[in-house]
Amino acid sequence: MRSFRVLKDATPAVLTEVPVPVPGPGELRLDIRACGLNFADLLMQKGTYQDTPPAPFTPGLEVSGVVNAVGPGVTDFGIGDRIAIYSGQGGLAEQGVFPANRAVRIPDCMSFEHAAAFQIAYGTAHMALDHRARLLPGETLLVTGAAGGVGLTAVEIGKLMGARVIAHARGAEKLEIARQAGADVLIDAGEDLRARLLALGGVDVVYDAIGGDVFKAAFRAAKPEGRLLPIGFAGGEVPQIPANHLLVKNLTVIGFYIGGYLRFRPEVVRDSFATLFYWYEQGRLKPHVSHVLPLERVEEGMELLRSRASTGKVVITP
């Protein structure tokens, strides 16, 4: 079978032929129909992601497809089941073997592309805003990188939770996508972010996927008792947080990484996914997939992430 594989540590992945894997105890094998790309897939190839596996390995953190084999001890799923898995790796291939206890059934109304694009982006937004930041109805939420794969879902989730949502993105096209997802206020990346936020009365919760100067501006515009979630650093700079400002304004900076919960509190992830799939079935969530590409064009998909040319999610269909 074909697999987009990192053969040596910290080297670019290449499309190659590998043997079809065999599921072991507690595992299932999937005909992979779709794999959502994430910024972490770029970092894994550099060896800079916090959960980079040792080479050789196949990137691709979230997948959907059809079960074609199960290993010993797997009783909850059978051949032919449509499932999605937040796998952490292995998704950029025609088939893959994954732990069965991470699998969730896909609603009948959900496409494979939506299922692959759904888990990390929506799970991150929902768990960060609900479980960690405790976002309340009527509060003001700032989402930076608001048209990207993770940011756009935070706009949707924040609006569903009753917040006033401010979307920050570059250009009219991306801001319009954020507006359609529910944003109440739009701020272009070329504007003075801190000044605009202060003019709007400040913010209660910051959901920041950019880092650098964008985080600093949002930090300075946070209201007393504001909560800040540094979700990612797509701008390339990890912000340094002045602890004295936290003290004076009673601010809280909240760390969140969804992958960690799979290890120490997996029930939080399962409960979040159950809520999100229910909202999807109700028609309250509408994943935005800007590009669907075949496996042989995965490099093109990576470049879309690298250059921030995509909106919403990029999905690969092996």
DSSP calls for 109-140: T--HHHHHHHHHHHHHHHIIIIIIS---TT-E
User: Residue 311's pLDDT is what?
Assistant: 82
Handedness of CA 280, 283, 286, 292 (dihedral sign): positive
Residues 235-253 pLDDT 10s? 889 999 999 999 999 999 9
Spatial separation of the C-alpha atoms in residues 92 and 211, rounded to whole Å = 28
User: Residue 14's pLDDT is what?
Assistant: 95
Assess whether the previous peptide bond of 56 is cis (omega < 30° from 0). yes
Query: How would you classify the pairing of strands 27-36 and 95-99?
Result: antiparallel
User: Residue 248's pLDDT is what?
Assistant: 93
Report the residue count for the chain.
318
Which residues have CB under 8 Å from 224's CB, separation 6+? 249, 250, 251
Largest CA distance in the chain: 61
User: Residue 101's pLDDT is what?
Assistant: 87
Amino acid, res. 126: H
Q: Which residues of the chain have pLDDT under 50?
A: none
Nearest to 153 by CA among 103, 108, 210, 207: 207
User: Residue 271's pLDDT is what?
Assistant: 86
User: Residue 70's pLDDT is what?
Assistant: 98
- Asked if 303 contacts 20 with a C-beta cutoff of 8 angstroms, the reply is no
Spatial separation of the C-alpha atoms in residues 182 and 193, rounded to whole Å = 20
Handedness of CA 89, 96, 265, 150 (dihedral sign): positive
* Domain architecture of the chain: domains with CATH: 2-119+260-317 (3.90.180.10), 134-253 (3.40.50.720)
Which residues have CB under 8 Å from 111's CB, separation 6+? none
Residues 267-278 pLDDT 10s? 888 889 889 999
Please, which residues bridge with residue 65 across strands?
Answer: 32, 83
- Asked if 61 contacts 123 with a C-beta cutoff of 8 angstroms, the reply is no
Query: How would you classify the pairing of strands 185-188 and 289-294?
Result: unpaired
User: Residue 58's pLDDT is what?
Assistant: 97
Residues 80-91 pLDDT 10s? 999 999 989 999
